[in-house]
Amino acid sequence: MYKEIYLDAPNLGETEKQYLARSISIGYVSTLGPFVSEFEKKFAKYLNVKKAVSTQSGTAALHMALYELGIKKGNEVIVPALTFVATVNPVKYVGAEPVFVDVDPDTWNISPGEIEKHITEKTKAIIPTHLYGNPCNMDEIMEIAKEYKLFVIEDATESLGAKYNDKHTGTFGDLGCFSFNGNKIITTGGGGLVAGNNGKRLEHIKFLVNQARGESKDHYHPEIGFNYRMTNLEAALGLAQMERLNEFLIKKRKFHDIYRKKLKDTENMHFQEEYENAESSFWFSCIIFDKEIDIPRLQEELKNKGVPTRRIFMPITEFPPYRTCKKGEYKNSYYIYEKGLCLPSSTLNSENEIYYVCEKLKELI
Ligand SMILES: Cc1ncc(COP(=O)(O)O)c(C=O)c1O
């Protein structure tokens, strides 16, 4: 038998301990300290963008991106129906209305054709989510945005390290948002980041997240700000995790390859697919059963064999604040939710454990 199999637990080790110890020994554990700017610089360099601003969470990053771009009451923002709720709530925080669009049945990402159908004179922005680390069709999304003069805020919270046309996700739109929550590709415990090439906008976000603190006079706040900063302790963890990012990405891709190889002959089952010019981060490896299936029961049976799983996100249109949908309107999103499953993807697992997951899955279905 194997040790515990992890679904999405973070991979923390000696490097993380050393960085955290340094943060404590120099006495900077809160929002002051050298690691925050070091982390931001390292991240911007990795993405090959002008600037990165760290935040308290991915949700805060998305909120700041919308706020900075001036999205407000009376505006509409196009979002996928299938995503985590935190893609959409920040649209409401700024007073705008989310407009839900169905996803592509193969990639599970917002469908460019559907985006175009939902554009009105009120539309101001699109938020594509690179779901489970899988890059969206950024060529078509950027073309639509250009034609209709819309902002693009990429929800790259799950896709650190993923590429489209050899370029990092989160670097195509006006601003890209990342999350370092405990289960993400890298973690800072809890944290996020906004990145991009518009230095002026990002400088302003840096100012906003710090209570809009003016530099000319003490305790002077010329705008309404937010306390959305990352702490030095979190950034220390982030720096350590950045050193291991490639190791994590290689491992996640390897796990995905094993799942594909071992499950390829399983009938009525398929994987979330990448576009030809895309490279997923495989934050999660996910499958779909193209048949009648009781997903909660399968999860319970897998759990009894030591295999943790999680369901695909419930379409946002199911939640009371967003219950706008007519039956059948988001059919791909609902199909994926009803028939899909996320498999163990934590980099704490070994390849043998992934083989074991495949074996148990095949036995049970
Ligand atoms: C698609 C998506 N958007 C936004 C977020 C929000 O990130 P955070 O949990 O850091 O606020 C997450 C992660 O939780 C996510 O998966």
pLDDT digits (tens, 9 = 90+) for 62-81: 999 999 999 999 999 999 99
Is 178 a pocket residue for ligand 1 (Cβ < 6 Å)? no
pLDDT of residue 179: 98
**Taking the mean position of all CA atoms in its chain, how far away is CA 197?**
20
Task: Tell me which residue of 100, 105, 102, 152 sits closest to 126, measured CA to CA.
Answer: 152
Amino acid at 219: H
Considering only residues 324 and 179, tell me which one the structure prediction assigns the higher pLDDT: 179
The answer on pLDDT for 25 being more than 60 is: yes
DSSP code for 43? H
Out of 62, 108, 127, 181, mutate this one to test ligand 1's pocket (max ligand atoms within 8 Å of CB): namely 181
Out of 56, 83, 158, 160, mutate this one to test ligand 1's pocket (max ligand atoms within 8 Å of CB): namely 158
Q: What is the mean pLDDT of the chain?
A: 96
Compute the distance from residue 25 Cα to the ligand 1 centre, in Å. 31
The SS3 call for residue 322 is: helix
Orientation of helix 245-263 relative to helix 351-364, angle to 10°: 30
Is 157 a pocket residue for ligand 1 (Cβ < 6 Å)? yes
Compute the distance from residue 110 Cα to the ligand 1 centre, in Å. 17
**What is the atom index within ligand 1 of the atom nearest the CA of 191?**
10
Task: Tell me which residue of 179, 184, 154 sits closest to 169, measured CA to CA.
Answer: 154
Question: 245-364: CATH homologous superfamily?
Answer: Aspartate Aminotransferase, domain 1 (3.90.1150.10)
The β-bridge relationship of strands 269-271 and 285-289 is antiparallel
The β-bridge relationship of strands 192-196 and 51-55 is antiparallel
pLDDT of residue 217: 85
**Record: fold of 14-243:** Aspartate Aminotransferase; domain 2 (3.40.640)
pLDDT of residue 204: 98
Confidence of residue 146 (pLDDT cuts 50, 70, 90): very high
The answer on pLDDT for 184 being more than 80 is: yes
Are the beta carbons of 345 and 258 closer than 8 angstroms? no
The β-bridge relationship of strands 175-179 and 151-155 is parallel
CB burial string 279-298: b at 16+ within 10 A, e below:
bbbbbbbbbbbeeebebeeb
Confidence of residue 2 (pLDDT cuts 50, 70, 90): low
pLDDT of residue 328: 77
Q: For the chain, give every domain's residue range.
A: 14-243, 245-364
Out of 79, 157, 159, 333, mutate this one to test ligand 1's pocket (max ligand atoms within 8 Å of CB): namely 157
Query: Cα(208)–Cα(228) distance, rounded to whole angstroms?
Result: 8
Q: What DSSP string runs through 172-205?
A: SSSEEEEE-BTTSSS--BS-EEEEES-HHHHHHH
Are the beta carbons of 256 and 273 closer than 8 angstroms? no
pLDDT digits (tens, 9 = 90+) for 97-136: 999 999 999 999 999 999 999 999 999 999 999 999 999 9
Q: What is the pTM of this model?
A: 0.97
Compute the distance from residue 155 Cα to the ligand 1 centre, in Å. 8
Compute the distance from residue 58 Cα to the ligand 1 centre, in Å. 5
